[in-house]
Amino acid sequence: MKKIDEYQGKKVLVMGFGISGINAAHLLVKLGANVTANDKATPKNNDIVDDLEADGIKVITGDNPISLANEGFDVVVKNPGIPYDNPLVAAFVKQGISIITEAELGWQIFDGHLVSVTGSNGKTTTTTLTQLMIAENAKHQVKYAGNIGISFSKIAEDLGPDDTLVTELSSFQLLGAPTIHPHIAIITNIFSNHLDYHKTRENYINAKLNITRNQTKDDFLVINWDRDEWQKIAQRSQATIVPFSRLNKSHEGSYVEDGMIYWRGQEVMPTKDIRLIGPQNVENALAAIAAAKLSGVTNDAIKKVLTTFSGVRHRLQYVMEYQERLFYNDSKSTDIEATEVALQGFDRPVILLAGGLDRGYTFERLVPYFKKHVKAMIVFGECKDKMKDAGNQAGVPVIESENAITAVPEAWKLSEPGDVILLSPANASWDQFPSFEVRGDKFIEAVEELTGKKEQ
């Protein structure tokens, strides 16, 4: 951990009691700040409040009182999910008060080698693969943190100058990380996500590009080269560009040719040996390989990871096989693009469980994928009627269910030996579950209850 004094004696407000917010509050106390912690909800677990207060932190729950804007805070550390049009946040913006996220705080105290990953899809898998590959050859600690569910600042506290940290960073986190400077940055892809938060696609792209804003020619930007738009976006970085591509050969980076993965013209391994299924995971592997090779990782270490790693929880996670049916949990597919790539990963008939929060869009884009891959659909949640419309357009049998849990026995009734039962909702979970993780866990529990087996 790097010793810094910029928070010494400063008055800091931490907004949000998520894992990162709580860790940030305690860290700020160590850094000499006078800390107030605020959450709009009242925690069900009183231990959270007790622990904060025991550390000398003033705690305010149950509201984001606008009066806090008049208490002279020097810095606000905001939960990434709190939008900037939140009345209290907007008041701080108007006053010109520094508003950062916990990722910025983690970077400020980090004293080692930083690799950071962002993108619309594939962030978690790419982050995990990169960390595993670098760790295979490392003589020092290699950890991961960030949007992957582990506090950046908490892990950064325990790492030294020779250690490596691989961070997954969302657009929300990057908006509040003005000085972050990874030596290797990865952009997996950029679609049109979170426009309810960012308002425009250009705002969303700009937030993603904060990952490379402070990079120089001595740093590296590893970026997907499979679309012209992404190639143009890369030109907005000052870093050395390292492309990865499943579709276009580029000797400057990692690519696929005739079923073989190459790094700068040298063979690494066949794509068929990657344990993870689907073309999207070939892309995730290519991104991780580029970062790993830039970090000095051997081909043997890369092969070991890619031939054994079976997936991140909730991201096309293999759950089990039962009576010749395969169950997959892809609860983290919270947008159309993620479900598109999930469906492309299967050469068996799919019974698709989909639906969730209605964000106002329809699902015509999925119709060709339904026609090609899906034999039946179970739909649920706020947008079930829109999802049903797309299924009907594709000529796929569709039935309605209450949620992702009740859909499991319904899917089983429709299934036959050789089928895949896939939860890939194409929508956020917040209409029925507090997070995609909870939705995925409940789906797995329903599968276990149905089969009498534990996940594998």
Annotated binding site for ATP: 119-125
Q: Comparing C-alpha atoms, which of 107, 48, 55, 102 is closest to residue 75? A: 102
The DSSP result for 366-425, as a single string, is: GHHHHHHHEEEEEEESTTHHHHHHHHHHHT--EEE-SSTTTHHHHHHHH--TT-EEEE--
Per the annotation, where are the binding residues?
Answer: 119-125
How far is 368 from 154, CA to CA, in rounded Å? 44
How far is 316 from 314, CA to CA, in rounded Å? 6
For the chain, give the number of residues.
456
The angle formed by the CA atoms of residues 423, 341 and 456, to the nearest 5 degrees, is: 45
How far is 90 from 83, CA to CA, in rounded Å? 9
Is 432 within 8 Å of 356 (Cβ atoms)? Answer: yes
Chain-centroid distance of CA 215 in Å reads: 22
How many of the other CB atoms lie within 10 Å of CB of 219?
A: 19
Which residue is it, tokens 């030996």? Answer: 417
DSSP H stretches of helix in 224-268? 228-234
Q: Is the dihedral of CA 317, 322, 326, 330 positive or negative?
A: negative
